[in-house]
Chains A and B, each alone.
Chain A
Amino acid sequence: MTREQWQAVRNVLEPALDLAPSKRGAYLDEACAGDAALRREVESLLQADDRATHAFLTGKAIDHVELSEDTAPPDTLQGRRIGPYLVLEEIGHGGMGTVYRAVRADDQFSQQVAVKAVRSGLADKLAIQRFKAERQILANLDHPNIARLLDGGATEDGRPYVVMEYIQGSPIDQYAEAHALSLHERLTLFRTVCSAVAYAHQRLVIHRDIKPANILVTADGVPKLLDFGIAKILDDPQQSAGVSIGAEQTVTIVRLMTPEYASPEQVRGEPVTTATDVYSLGVVLYSLLTGRRPYVLTSKTAHEIVQAVLETEPEKPSASNRRLRGDLDNIVLKALRKEPARRYTSVEQFSEDIRRHLDGLPVGARPDTLAYRGSKFVRRHKWAVLAAGLAVLALTGGMAATLREAYIARAERARAEQRFNDVRQLANSMLFEVHDAIQNLPGATPARKVLVDRATQYLDKLAQEAKGDLSLQRELAAAYERVGDVQGGFRTANLGDTAGFIASYQKSLAIREAVLRADPSNANAQREVFITRLRLSDALMWTGDLKGSVEQVKQMLAVAQKLSAADPNNLINQRNLASAYLDYGWKRSGLGDWKGGLEDCRKGAATLESLAAAHPSDKRIRRTLAIAYERVAELESRYTGAHAEPLALEQKAVAVEDALLQEDPNNTDIRRLEAWDTLRVGEEMLEGGDPRGMAKYRDALERFQTLSDADPKSIQFHNDLASVLARMGGAHLVQGDVRGAVSDLKRSLEQIENYSRTGALDIDALETRAQDLFRLAKAYQRLGNPAEAAAWLERAIPALEEARDRGSHRGEDASMLADARTELSAAQRRLSPR
């Protein structure tokens, strides 16, 4: 189909999709006007539309793939330990964080608490500042009707949290309904709430977000005021000096408010005083007495909220309940006046007026005069109303860019920013959600390339515009790693671009280090640098730069030691330190000091063993432990010539992997590790003289073949297959099965040659190829075919040289090269005798 044809089809199809099926026939008769091909096409698409289930493309892409545990939103603290508290479940969201129910885990009687933590994704400094302020404020408040602050701190990833008294109760309006409280009881209960607010006001604290949901009444009938989430200290010099706060800050404050209980001054973004709480208490009292809100909002649109809060005079409470006529009408309406100065001057006065009413005394509140009715007020505040309207638009619209639009004079710029955020969001969802989700799906490599290419195109464009935006910088760093992985990350399905691979990781590390410099104590930033360094170190090693690789891992170890010294009981620090020793030892052993390297690996393995025993549910530790066994075994076997001990270690590695696969049978990563360790078991058995080792080779080969068949484009699996076949060929050669060896070695070469066309080879593949060629020469010598042997030697020499030049540090390669040269000249002499 051409673009023009599709356009023609759409011209007919789109109106047809809007028609009832019964009317489509007549419509098509006319619209297609005898063009049978067009009609066939449109009808086929209409059929497709009928067959497409409602769900097709209606959700988000992410809902169509099951996420593994590891990709669950990292935001939740559920199930985690914070200090001495075990977080049980989420019980609500505050303005800028989540509230959880938790227990003191070391307490026999398991005292329940509420833990409130700032959202981890909230890179909003304002929110963190406020949160810290909240902690300070709460620490100074000690009142029977205010939820008590018990503790506070920061989680290991740097999120501030507070621990508060856990209140089991219902919101005050629901409580009053459920217990069918009398008018007298409702007023008395309300006065208790007033006493708590008045207490806070005396300590220069304004609540700013009073609403029924923040006033819980316990089963004993005791009201408790919660959530000083956006409270402000009155004597904050910056704010009380009358300095007008920035537009964005205002917006943030407004956004954190609940529109139905917000006061006119809050909607206008004006300074907030104790009169603001008087107003919100007025709304609460209104609801408590009438069961309704002061304003009847039908659609909750921005315009309606502004109109109601700023312009509409609330209906008298007595309109709902005649018993309220008179004093109570006057009291409630006085609290709800638009102008702060005309409300009660304090919560005590408000409460006192209610007491006088209850005692049958004359009250201070008088009916409002007409002169103050809303319309005039609004006329005087035309511009404020307009600004507030935009703020509330942002409030109800819910999009960050809309918020900016409200206050940034240049609409063009706001538009650009909105687009920017959308694209950033899109790029992220593609990179992280979709890519992660399909990452281990068999055959997913081409789709990943498309996804990653597109997403990075967007991000690259944005990168220049976003200097100084730390959260975007972190997203970019992660994005570069994702690109690097798909380009040439040998450890996962990849596209074979090793140069791009290294460059992407170096970019990522540079960004992550800059982020860490900006915030050196941030645990997340520390961990991100650690992991990126590990990945870069691997990448350098695989591309042949072992020195560069060891340099990275050395820095990684130094950082891990420092962090672990600062917080030795932190599990992540312990795991990272063990991993760093293991990796440093393994990589540096290739540079010469194998004894020191083996020591480091043993040290890492011992720590991992005890960590795995203490935390059996931690799959990462168990995975790393399996690799630790394998590495210690490999180094011992390679350098000490022992085989019994390495065999036992490899068998332990397989046992760990078996257990992991029982829990997660489709994990290709672990299946691959197990295939490798099965091969290594076979190698150690043969080396130790046990001929049953050969069966292990065949078992391993079959496992790799299965993995590769499931994802035929993955270079890693082809490299794996090539390596296994090479080793198998070597073993057959040693055992005297020369024809078997030739077959294995040729298959191994075939794997490598095929896939060297799709990109550069990593160091393992280069070594494998060189050894295959050399061993084939050997095999043909044994078969009595010197001409064929010489031909293989001629190919083996440059391959061995390339492996050496690209950084191979295996001693056997060097001796193979020397051997090959000697044998080639000998063969040439024999073949062309003078």
Chain B
Amino acid sequence: MTLSLDETLAPVQERELDLVALDDALEALAKLDERQCRMVELRFFGGLSIEETSEVLGVSTPTVKREWASARAWLYREISGAAPNAG
């Protein structure tokens, strides 16, 4: 049995946002709309602004704002586990 000399990073504490749950929710969102999923990746994981996101995705900034808002509501509901029976 060899214990490696190569250390892994020290562990981290989880804060309030559950990134794993977010990732699951993003997967589900991608099935409904890939672009909205990309948008969240770019903005939240990539740290791009609305303008930068619009440039990368080749859509207008109002479109980014609008689609971002509905993606955000959907993801929040998904993560907080409050989906209704409908749909």
- Report if A673 contacts B (CB, 8 A): yes
Q: Which residues of A contact B87 (CB under 8 A)?
A: 1, 5, 9, 37, 41
Say whether B20 contacts A444, CB under 8 Å: yes
**Cβ distance B85 to chain A, nearest Cβ, rounded Å:** 8
Q: Which residues of B contact A41 (CB under 8 A)?
A: 84, 86-87
Say whether B3 contacts A440, CB under 8 Å: no
Interface stretch of the complex, out of A48-56, A314-322, A467-475: A48-56
The chain B residue sitting closest to A70, CB to CB, is B9
A447 in contact with B23 given A583-B5, A620-B7 (CB within 8 Å): yes
- Report if A521 contacts B (CB, 8 A): no
Binary flags per residue of B51-76, CB closer than 8 Å to A gives 1, else 0: 01001100000000011011011111
Q: Which residues of A contact B33 (CB under 8 A)?
A: 3, 6-7, 10
Q: Which residues of B contact A492 (CB under 8 A)?
A: 8
Say whether A491 contacts B4, CB under 8 Å: yes
Cross-interface CB contact of A426 among B9, B19, B41, cutoff 8 Å: B41
The chain B residue sitting closest to A668, CB to CB, is B11
**Cβ distance B31 to chain A, nearest Cβ, rounded Å:** 7
A52 in contact with B76 given A14-B67, A425-B46, A437-B12 (CB within 8 Å): yes
Q: Which residues of B contact A587 (CB under 8 A)?
A: 2
- Report if A171 contacts B (CB, 8 A): no
**Cβ distance A211 to chain B, nearest Cβ, rounded Å:** 28
Say whether A51 contacts B76, CB under 8 Å: yes
Q: Which of B2, B8, B75 has the most CB of A within 10 A?
A: B2
- Which positions 25-60 of chain B face chain A at CB distance < 8 Å? 27, 31-33, 40-48, 52, 55-56
A307 to B41, CA, bound (A): 38
Interface size class of A (residues with CB under 8 A): 35 or more
Say whether B23 contacts A45, CB under 8 Å: no
Q: Which residues of B contact A630 (CB under 8 A)?
A: 3
Say whether B7 contacts A44, CB under 8 Å: no
**Cβ distance A752 to chain B, nearest Cβ, rounded Å:** 14
A491 in contact with B73 given A3-B33, A438-B19, A447-B23 (CB within 8 Å): no
- Which positions 428-471 of chain A face chain B at CB distance < 8 Å? 429-430, 434, 436-441, 443-444, 446-447, 450-451, 454
A67 to B5, CA, bound (A): 22
Say whether B70 contacts A627, CB under 8 Å: no
Say whether A44 contacts B83, CB under 8 Å: yes
A425 to B83, CA, bound (A): 34
Say whether B40 contacts A48, CB under 8 Å: no
Q: Which residues of A contact B72 (CB under 8 A)?
A: 49, 52, 56-57
A13 in contact with B70 given A57-B44, A443-B20, A676-B1 (CB within 8 Å): yes
Say whether B66 contacts A14, CB under 8 Å: yes
A764 to B41, CA, bound (A): 39
- Report if A145 contacts B (CB, 8 A): no
Say whether B11 contacts A666, CB under 8 Å: yes
A45 in contact with B55 given A14-B66, A37-B87 (CB within 8 Å): no
Cross-interface CB contact of A51 among B8, B23, B75, B80, cutoff 8 Å: B80
- Report if A203 contacts B (CB, 8 A): no
Main SS of the interface on chain A? helix
A51 to B79, CA, bound (A): 12
- Report if A422 contacts B (CB, 8 A): yes
A426 in contact with B46 given A440-B8, A534-B5, A673-B3 (CB within 8 Å): yes
Cross-interface CB contact of A586 among B2, B7, B13, B45, cutoff 8 Å: B2
Number of A-B contacts (CB under 8 A): 196
Q: Which of A14, A542, A664, A764 has the most CB of B within 10 A?
A: A14
A40 in contact with B84 given A3-B33, A14-B69 (CB within 8 Å): yes
Say whether B7 contacts A623, CB under 8 Å: yes
A56 to B76, CA, bound (A): 8
Cross-interface CB contact of B70 among A10, A399, A450, A673, cutoff 8 Å: A10
Q: Which of B9, B40, B73, B82 has the most CB of A within 10 A?
A: B73
Say whether B76 contacts A17, CB under 8 Å: no
Cross-interface CB contact of A6 among B8, B32, B75, cutoff 8 Å: B32
Say whether B8 contacts A64, CB under 8 Å: no
A65 in contact with B5 given A56-B76, A447-B20 (CB within 8 Å): no
- Report if A499 contacts B (CB, 8 A): no
- Report if A541 contacts B (CB, 8 A): yes
Q: Which residues of A contact B4 (CB under 8 A)?
A: 491, 534, 538
Say whether A541 contacts B5, CB under 8 Å: no
Q: Which residues of B contact A61 (CB under 8 A)?
A: 19, 44-45
**Cβ distance A434 to chain B, nearest Cβ, rounded Å:** 6
Cross-interface CB contact of A430 among B20, B45, B48, B52, cutoff 8 Å: B45
The chain B residue sitting closest to A422, CB to CB, is B56
- Which positions 325-375 of chain A face chain B at CB distance < 8 Å? none
- Report if A535 contacts B (CB, 8 A): yes
Say whether B15 contacts A450, CB under 8 Å: no
Say whether A399 contacts B9, CB under 8 Å: no
Q: Which residues of A contact B44 (CB under 8 A)?
A: 57, 60-61
Q: Which residues of A contact B1 (CB under 8 A)?
A: 676, 723, 764
A14-B69, A429-B47 are known; give 18 further A-B pairs, CB within 8 A: A2-B32, A5-B87, A14-B67, A18-B69, A41-B84, A45-B77, A47-B82, A57-B75, A61-B19, A418-B56, A422-B46, A426-B41, A434-B45, A439-B12, A534-B6, A535-B6, A620-B7, A664-B10
Interface residues of A (CB under 8 A from B): 1-3, 5-7, 9-10, 13-14, 17-18, 37, 40-41, 44-49, 51-52, 56-57, 60-62, 64-71, 399, 418-419, 422-423, 425-426, 429-430, 434, 436-441, 443-444, 446-447, 450-451, 454, 491-492, 531, 534-535, 538, 541-542, 579, 582-583, 586-587, 620, 623-624, 627, 630, 664, 666-669, 673, 676, 723, 764
